[in-house]
Amino acid sequence: MVNKTRSPQRREDALSRDRIIEAAIGLLDSTGEAGLTFRALSEQLATGPGAIYWHIANKGELLVAACDAVIAATLAACADGETPEATVRALAVGMFDAMDAHPWIGSALIHAAGQLPTVRLFESIGQQVRALGVPQSRQWAAVSALWHYILGVGGQNAANRRSAQAREIGREGFLGEASAAWAALDEARYPFTRSLAEQLRDHDDRADFLAGIDLILGGIKAQSQP
């Protein structure tokens, strides 16, 4: 009759690392990076700010843990494609959608350099690059290009979101303003940017992201068979 497993029978509402991370993700999603404070978090968990420190060392660790929970779930949900290329695309799209649903992931990933969530992602990309048949000596460059590109897009999208949110305009309003600003640039100094003003307003983030992935995949292929 004695329960040998030492799973403690806690009150339903007991604090735990996982419950804290879950609440942190919710707070980050709903109020953005600036909205995650130990006071707001502890209020949501019906406790004091100090309680959280029993389970988590500091805010940095909390952010990395929240990021890792999302990344792990995202990578696990990415189905393998028919070809390595298709799998890379599925992985990239999965990451894009995760960063779109959780705009704080981009900057969290950058701050988590070298830690668990980045290793997960690096490994997933690396396995597919291997599967593509890229020779050893060029694997590093190939993974690095895909990796930095994905992080760059994530960071940029997150910044755009934050900017739009701060000024209480939606995606359309943000793109409209940015497009107008580009159109108003000095023709002599900014001819290229100016010419893309319209394209900026109408572009599709997701499709453009994938186009970039394909471009890099094309570069990888071109290197292998010159």
At residue 120, φ and ψ (nearest 5 deg) are: -55, -50
Residue type, 185: L
Number of neighbouring beta carbons within 10 Å of residue 179:
18
Q: Of residues 18-57, which lie at the interface with DNA (CB under 7 A)?
A: 36-40, 46-51, 53-55
Figure out which of the listed residues 72, 78, 196, 197 binds its own copies, where binding follows CB under 8 A.
Answer: 196
Figure out which of the listed residues 77, 159, 180, 184 binds its own copies, where binding follows CB under 8 A.
Answer: 159
Figure out which of the listed residues 113, 135, 168, 188 binds its own copies, where binding follows CB under 8 A.
Answer: 113
CA distances from 24 to 66, 149, 158, 183 (A): 7, 27, 17, 40
Q: Which stretch binds DNA (CB under 7 A): 7-15, 92-100, 119-127, 198-206?
A: 7-15
Regarding 87 and contact with its own copies (CB under 8 A), the answer is no
Q: Which stretch binds its own copies (CB under 8 A): 16-24, 49-57, 81-89, 126-134?
A: 126-134
Q: Are 128 and 149 in contact (CB under 8 A)?
A: no
Regarding 15 and contact with DNA (CB under 7 A), the answer is yes
Regarding 191 and contact with its own copies (CB under 8 A), the answer is yes
Tokens matching residue 138: 């060029």
Tokens matching residue 64: 């990395």
Q: Nearest Cα to 173, choosing from 192, 160, 183, 154?
A: 160
Q: Nearest Cα to 134, choosing from 210, 214, 217, 215?
A: 217
What residue ranges bind its own copies (CB under 8 A)? 107, 110-114, 119, 122-123, 126-127, 129-130, 139-145, 147-153, 155-156, 158-160, 163, 178, 181-182, 185, 189-193, 196, 199, 203, 208, 211-212, 215-223
